[in-house]
Amino acid sequence: MSSRPEYRDSKTPRAVKVYSVAQESRHIIISNVPALGLSENLLKQCSLYGAVEEIRSLDDHASVEEFTKVYYLRLGTVDAARRLKQAMDDRPFYSNLLTIAYAPYYETVHDARLKLQNRRNAIHQKLSPVPRSSVKKRPLPQPSYGSLSPDDPQQQKSVWRAHALHEPSSQVTSTVRECIQAAATLPAAPIPEKKKRRRI
């Protein structure tokens, strides 16, 4: 019993079931199909999600009823079977809600080995770091220095900013050296004397 208020309870059940790689399979059982000779229609609908290699009716299945039939499907890949189950499970098909389930007991040794290998490759691709060569870097705009004067403080700031952002070229390095030498030869500015306050 849920402790949520009634106005917050969902009208449709939201149960979540987790499938492992061993439970998923490209072999699928579709039950609750109306017994109206709809094998061609079902094949056409299932082909939208992947290649269907085999489809046949299971007359001796436990879910067979008087007016419904059960079909077995073998798809090309497990991904196609997963998409089909997500799209068509508990969905109406000629007034009946389909019930789709994985059937891993139809798998061969080759199917199980291929399924595990594909999952191993998918996990390896997700965990592997992105190579640096695939990352595109935006080139920084190169500033035009032109004729620089060591006595102009604005040009000195622009040179120092360009020197910090970009790799120093020979022109920038020589200009920075001239600015430093010119600043060292300038006389020191006199320090203003503090005025004494008169006491009243």
Q: Which of residues 9 and 70 earns the better pLDDT score?
A: 70
**What pLDDT is attached to residue 26?**
92
Residue appearing with tokens 């019993």: 1
Q: What is the mean pLDDT of the chain?
A: 78
- Counting the structural domains of the chain, the total is 2
Q: Which residues of 127-165 are buried (b: 16+ CB within 10 A; e: fewer)?
A: eeeeeeeeeeeeeeeeeeeeebebeeeebbeebeebeee
Nearest to 78 by CA among 22, 134, 158, 31: 22
pLDDT 10s digits, 101-155:
999 999 999 999 999 998 899 888 888 876 666 666 666 555 554 555 555 556 5
**What pLDDT is attached to residue 83?**
92
**Strand ranges (DSSP E) for the chain?**
27-34, 52-57, 68-75, 92-93, 96-97, 99-102
Q: Is the pLDDT at 186 greater than 90, yes or no?
A: no
Q: Is the pLDDT at 84 greater than 70, yes or no?
A: yes
For residue 29, tell me if it sits in a domain: yes
State the pLDDT confidence band at 169, using cuts at 50, 70 and 90: very low
For residue 104, tell me if it sits in a domain: yes
Same domain, 91 and 42: yes
Average pLDDT over residues 72-89: 92
Among 63, 94, 114, the domain-final residue is 114
**DSSP helix/strand/coil, 6:** helix
**What pLDDT is attached to residue 18?**
75
CA distance 185 to 1: 87
Average pLDDT over residues 21-30: 91
Q: Which domain holds residue 33?
A: 16-114
Structure tokens, 177? 């050296």
For residue 84, tell me if it sits in a domain: yes
CA distance 28 to 101: 6
Q: How many other C-beta atoms lie within 10 A of the C-beta of residue 178? A: 14
Report the chain's C-alpha Rg in angstroms.
38
For residue 193, tell me if it sits in a domain: no
How far is C-alpha 160 from the geometric centre of its chain's CA atoms?
Answer: 41
Residue appearing with tokens 């220095």: 145
Average pLDDT over residues 72-85: 92
Reported as type and span, the H/E element at residue 181 is: helix 170-185
Q: Are 27 and 107 in contact (CB under 8 A)?
A: yes
For residue 49, tell me if it sits in a domain: yes
